[in-house]
Amino acid sequence: MAKKTGTLKTFNQFRGFGFITCDDQDIFFHKSEVTGRPPKEGDALTFEMAPSQKDPAKMEAKNVTGGTAGGATQGTVKWFNEMKGYGFIEEGDKSHFMHANDITGGTPMDGDNVWFDVVNSEKDPAKTAAKNVVGGSGYPMGGGGKGGGWGKGYGKGGYMDMMSMMYMMGGGKGWGGKGWGKW
């Protein structure tokens, strides 16, 4: 198969697919066809064209490479505690601390292969931490920073939104402003 080059138009990591613009057309690809770092919008990607297994009359991208999302190091999520907002990534025989503020995209799930940068820990320079973490297969992470995510205040997009989502998934009604109840 001949290699083609195109530009990433969109990639929805959570739904597992994206589109590459090449020769004035949008070409579908599945995340299982991505080799190396995950792609981000605007990346120049190299791929091969092949018939879709679902519909052989349609073509899709296979062996997609050239993504630039996340850091330069690949590792496996050892564990991540969503409530506390931290966990660890294993890279060979090394273990790196990761904090929710340093994660982009999906929540890291145990066993996920992720891409990240290794830095010295701010609290203990003898230890390492993971920054710029990408590749988690869980639901999208909340905002981050003050008032939105795991920063101070647990504001919109953060802790309470996550708790509401978890409660609703369990069959509840969610957070109603004055306590748990109807919206």
Domain boundaries, the chain: 3-65, 73-134, 143-172
Q: Are the C-beta atoms of 45 and 86 separated by less than 8 Å? A: no
Q: Which of 76, 65, 58 is nearest to 8 (CA)?
A: 65
Query: 3-65 maps to which CATH number?
Result: 2.40.50.140
Residue 164 has pLDDT above 70, yes or no: no
CATH class of 73-134: mainly beta
Residue 88 has pLDDT above 80, yes or no: yes
Q: Do the domains spanning 3-65 and 73-134 agree at the CATH topology level?
A: yes
Distance between CA atoms of residues 151 and 14, nearest Å: 24
The pTM for the full model equals: 0.71
The pLDDT of residue 139: 85
The mean pLDDT value for 47-69 works out to 95
The pLDDT of residue 154: 39
153 φ/ψ sector (left φ>0, alpha ψ -120 to 50, else beta): left
The mean pLDDT value for 107-112 works out to 95
